[in-house]
Amino acid sequence: MKTINKITIGLLTLSIAASVNAATTLKMGMQASVGSVEYYSAKMLADTLEEMSQGEIKLALYPSAQLGDDRAMLQQLTLGDL
């Protein structure tokens, strides 16, 4: 087998192994601002989720309509952007 083929196979194997072990990050957009009860509840959820999954699942919070209003977030979901 040629050296370039061996290198290619090795790199593909490493990239597949890295993607299997990669953490999953979920996004949570909300209209509530930082400091609100909703935000603190979502923060507790994110911390608990990361702790119980041993870091395999992370929840990224986007308060204060950073991802847009409810209609914009729903549209982003249907397009696969969110």
Sequence-separated (6 or more) residues with CB below 8 Å from residue 78: none
Does this model's pTM top 0.85? My answer is no
pLDDT for 3-17, tens place per residue?
665 565 655 555 555
What is the domain partition of the chain in residue ranges? Answer: 24-79
pLDDT for 18-67, tens place per residue?
455 678 898 988 889 999 999 999 999 999 999 999 999 999 999 999 98
Q: DSSP letter string over the chain? A: --HHHHHHHHHHHHHHHHHHHSPEEEEEE-SSPTTSHHHHHHHHHHHHHHHHTTTSEEEEEE-TTTT--HHHHHHHHHHT--
